């Protein structure tokens, strides 16, 4: 009965992560869908709504097949910090994150949550390819 932590910020990301888990889930598994926001002036209502929609997709797609918990964190942390902390708190067996192909400048300027999770996690991380967004 594995525990998965999914990091998502859009409905498209959630759909791809659900596709990855679709054939892997058993009824006794637990999935934690996590959306992380800065809050305050750095987060507007639309971004918060997008995050809610993203985690709700996971509930809709996987809720009949496994236990799904949704979490929207608004703590001022970087998303990788929230994902790693939550994975630790629930003793996750695997983190599942998406990655978009970007040009090298985009990686330097914007960083990569996926890269940070991969470098800092002591747990297995599944990286799901997403559509490109430069």
pLDDT at 109: 45
For residue 104, being part of any structural domain is answered with: yes
pLDDT at 52: 96
For residue 97, being part of any structural domain is answered with: yes
N residues, the chain:
134
Tens of each residue's pLDDT in the chain, 134 residues: 999 999 999 999 999 999 999 999 999 999 999 999 987 777 788 888 999 999 999 999 999 999 999 999 998 899 999 999 999 999 999 999 998 877 666 555 445 888 899 989 999 999 998 886 54
Cross-sheet strand order for the sheet of 30-37: 67-74, 30-37, 3-7, 94-99, 125-129
In this structure, what CATH number is given to the domain that contains residue 98? Answer: 3.40.50.620
Number of domains in the chain: 1
pLDDT at 111: 57
């Amino acid at each position: 009965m594995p525990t998965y932590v999914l990091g998502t910020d859009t409905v498209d990301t959630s759909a791809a992560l659900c596709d990855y888990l679709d054939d892997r889930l058993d009824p006794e598994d637990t999935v934690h869908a996590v959306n992380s926001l800065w809050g305050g002036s750095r987060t507007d209502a639309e971004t918060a709504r997008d995050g809610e929609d993203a985690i709700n997709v996971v509930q809709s797609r996987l809720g009949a097949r496994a236990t799904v918990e949704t979490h929207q964190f608004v703590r001022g942390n970087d998303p990788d910090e929230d994902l790693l902390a939550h994975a630790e708190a629930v003793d996750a067996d695997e983190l599942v994150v998406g990655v978009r192909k970007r040009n090298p400048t985009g990686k330097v300027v914007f960083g990569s949550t996926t890269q940070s999770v991969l470098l800092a996690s002591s747990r297995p991380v599944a990286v799901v390819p997403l559509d490109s967004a430069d």
